[in-house]
Amino acid sequence: MSRMETILSLKNLQKTFTARRKGKTYKIHAVNDISLDVRRGETLGIVGETGCGKTTVGRTIIRLTTADSGVAELNGNDIFTSDRQQMRKLRLKVRMVFQDPYASLNPRRTIGDSVGETGDIHGVFDSRRDREERIARTLEQVGLDASFANRFPHQLSGGQRQRVGIARALLPTPDLIIADEPVSALDVSIQAQVLNLLADLKDEMGLTMVFISHDLGVVAQISDRVAVMYMGNMVELADGPGLFANPQHPYTQLLIASVPLINPNKRVSGGIEKGEPPSRFADVSGCAFHDRCPLATDLCRTTRPELRKNGIGRKVACHHA
């Protein structure tokens, strides 16, 4: 099992939603030509602001949303052309963890039933005893006592519920976990516990993960590599430490500079007006970031920059970085 083995490969992924506003039909490019490899054993972070398409990328991978075009391959098998039978198997191999652990658990089922549900559907348990044992073992893996199997979601705190969400994803020993904002709904002290758990699982089980979040601090802490998205485009892709120490794309720079830090020497002052992302209904030509960018030139307003290696070997989609 080599370190560089590609487990998931996305090529030219494209997804457009149509929306009607005031009698006009708009095309919204949620995901615009994204190509990405996820290697076995790594955690790939996807970071970006609201509406940048990071969730859509995650959802298209397991076909919760159907991509318009592009290719997604898991261990060399094409996901988008798989039939029903193949998809069933695939959904055991790629598992999702969602943001709101309360909304994603059935309030009327016990934790054990929720965790075991996938196993029941796919018939992975040999016997009732095997089922109980595996549910207990999985709960213990995520730091919960086996007795939690008999409880209901309302008896659990937010942090515990998110651990259940992770346990449910782990039960069929998946190849890949897609975690969409898994700690955003939690308090910081609880968030830190869950992030440590994910890091431990990665070390112990060699878990591969796509970690989607808007929180740069969280992504930096957990990811080996990070993809930055803006308005459906991938603007920068780099190893985590490199990206945060030396961001190349002007948007990545703005994003990192905007993270509030505990540093009494860094103070916010009046007069910060850098504009907001343009409306998703607007048809933006050229680089999507050009109207907020300090480096923008005429070229940026007309031509969309490709993601390519720049002078220091970083993958950046910018004409000037």
Partner 1 sequence: MLTVRNLVVSGGKGASRVDIVSDVSFEIERRKVLGLVGESGSGKSITSLAVMGLLPHPQLWVRGGSIELDGADITEEPPYLRVERGHGGVSMIFQEPMTSLNPVVPIGDQIVEAVRVHDGSTGITARNRAQELLEMVRIPDARLQLTAYPHELSGGMRQRVMIAIALACRPQVLIADEPTTALDVTVQMQVLSLIRELCDTFDMGVLFITHDLGVVSELADSVSVMYGGKIVENGPVERLFNVPLHPYTSGLMNCVPDPSAGHRRFQTIPGQAPKPGEITKGCRFAPRCRHAQAVCTTDTPAKVVDGPLHSAQCHFPIARGAS
The dihedral through the CA atoms of 90, 78, 39, 49 has a sign that is negative
Nearer to partner 1, 264 or 311 (CB): 264
Q: Which of 167, 165, 159 is nearest to 137 (CA)?
A: 167
Q: Shortest gap between Cβ of 273 and partner 1 (angstroms)?
A: 6
Nearer to partner 1, 105 or 218 (CB): 218
Helix (H) or strand (E) holding 51: none
The yes or no reply on residue 1 touching partner 1 (CB under 8 A) is no
The yes or no reply on residue 182 touching partner 1 (CB under 8 A) is no
Query: Judged by CB under 8 A, which of 149, 218, 237, 321 binds partner 1?
Result: 218
Nearer to partner 1, 1 or 261 (CB): 261
Q: Which of 118, 111, 104 is nearest to 148 (CA)?
A: 111
The yes or no reply on residue 240 touching partner 1 (CB under 8 A) is yes
> How many CB atoms are closer than 10 A to CB 55?
22
Binding-site residue total for partner 1 (CB under 8 A)? 50
Tokens of 58: 């995650």
Q: How far is CA 160 from the centre of its chain?
A: 21
Query: Judged by CB under 8 A, which of 270, 294, 311, 313 binds partner 1?
Result: 270
Q: Shortest gap between Cβ of 275 and partner 1 (angstroms)?
A: 9
Q: Read out DSSP for 112-144?
A: HHHHHHHHHHHT--SSHHHHHHHHHHHHHHTT-
The yes or no reply on residue 273 touching partner 1 (CB under 8 A) is yes
Site of interaction with partner 1 (CB under 8 A)? 49-50, 157, 159, 187-193, 195-196, 199, 214-222, 240-241, 244-245, 254-256, 258-274, 276-277, 279
